[in-house]
Amino acid sequence: MTCPAQPSDVTLRDQHTGLTRDLILDALTRLVLEEGVHDFSVQRVAELAGVSHRTIYRHFASREDLLEALAIRLASQMPRELSSYDACEVRDAIRDIHAVFTKESKRVKALAILAAGARIRLPHRKKNTRVVQRTLAPLTAHLAAEEAEAVAILIRSIAGSFMWFHLTDEHGLDPERTTRLVVWAVQALIDSLRAGNGPGRPEKLPEGD
């Protein structure tokens, strides 16, 4: 009789690490939502998570790392890597992103409040901007490099978590309406790029006008 294979120590250790990180991130989210904290102390997060101050720093080297991990956790819920969408799939990408935001609305709210209140710039957002810039490259070839980058930043910002939070939480739009609005806005920008337009360039009118 063959005994079933037992989980390896590495697997168990990884599972424990993942659970601890989730516990800490959940505590950070609760801290923001329940206590209205725009800035936060690592000690208070540790208290809510029921772990030691040292444990926090064992998993996250800084407060910035905590916020970055929260952003990465949201991205991990996507059905596909953001880089796998092409310029013709922008609508699908936004709908998939917003579906995650709706599912993880508490974490999105916490991230938006903390990133703005603590004035922390997240590397993950810069990475997403670069992905968007590469995706839009066929549509921005007529623009100068700095203009193409600015357009990518604008579109990433419109479709991102902060705008979603701003529209749904601060202005009370329901998630479905928010997604339609953002898709429309981004599609209008893409159509303008396809027409050869861009910031600082005279707008080309459709033929016949």
Cβ atoms of residues 201 and 194 within 8 Å = no
User: Which residue shows structure tokens 């013709």?
Assistant: 88
**Does some domain include residue 65?**
no
Cα(110)–Cα(119) distance, rounded to whole angstroms? 13
Q: Assess whether pLDDT exceeds 70 at residue 88.
A: yes
Mutual orientation of helices 123-136 and 145-159 as an angle, nearest 10°?
A: 120
**For the segment 68-85, what is each residue's pLDDT rounded down to a tens digit?**
999 999 999 999 999 999
143 and 194, same domain (yes or no): yes
23 and 117, same domain (yes or no): no
Q: Which residues fall within 8 angstroms of residue 43, CB to CB, at 6 or more apart?
A: 53
**Helix residue ranges per DSSP H, 36-144:** 42-49, 53-59, 63-75, 90-103, 105-117, 123-136
Question: DSSP 3-state assignment of 203?
Answer: coil
**Angle at Cα 27 formed by Cα 36 and Cα 7, nearest 5°?**
165
Among candidate residues 80, 94, 61, the one with its CA nearest the CA of residue 187: 94
Q: What is the pTM of this model?
A: 0.82
Range of the domain at 41: 8-60
**Does some domain include residue 66?**
no
Cα(190)–Cα(185) distance, rounded to whole angstroms? 9
33 and 132, same domain (yes or no): no
Among candidate residues 202, 162, 197, 200, the one with its CA nearest the CA of residue 182: 162
Q: Assess whether pLDDT exceeds 60 at residue 3.
A: no
**Does some domain include residue 138?**
yes
Find the helix or strand (DSSP H, E) in which 32 lies: helix 9-35
User: Which residue shows structure tokens 């006008």?
Assistant: 209
**Does some domain include residue 165?**
yes
53 and 147, same domain (yes or no): no
27 and 112, same domain (yes or no): no
156 and 92, same domain (yes or no): yes
144 and 56, same domain (yes or no): no
pLDDT: which is higher, 40 or 16: 40
90 and 190, same domain (yes or no): yes
**Does some domain include residue 71?**
no
32 and 90, same domain (yes or no): no
140 and 39, same domain (yes or no): no
Cβ atoms of residues 27 and 48 within 8 Å = yes
Give the CATH number for residue 31.
1.10.10.60
pLDDT: which is higher, 39 or 201: 39
Average pLDDT, the chain: 87
**For the segment 155-178, what is each residue's pLDDT rounded down to a tens digit?**
999 999 999 999 999 999 999 999
Q: Which residues fall within 8 angstroms of residue 50, CB to CB, at 6 or more apart?
A: 23, 27
**Does some domain include residue 2?**
no
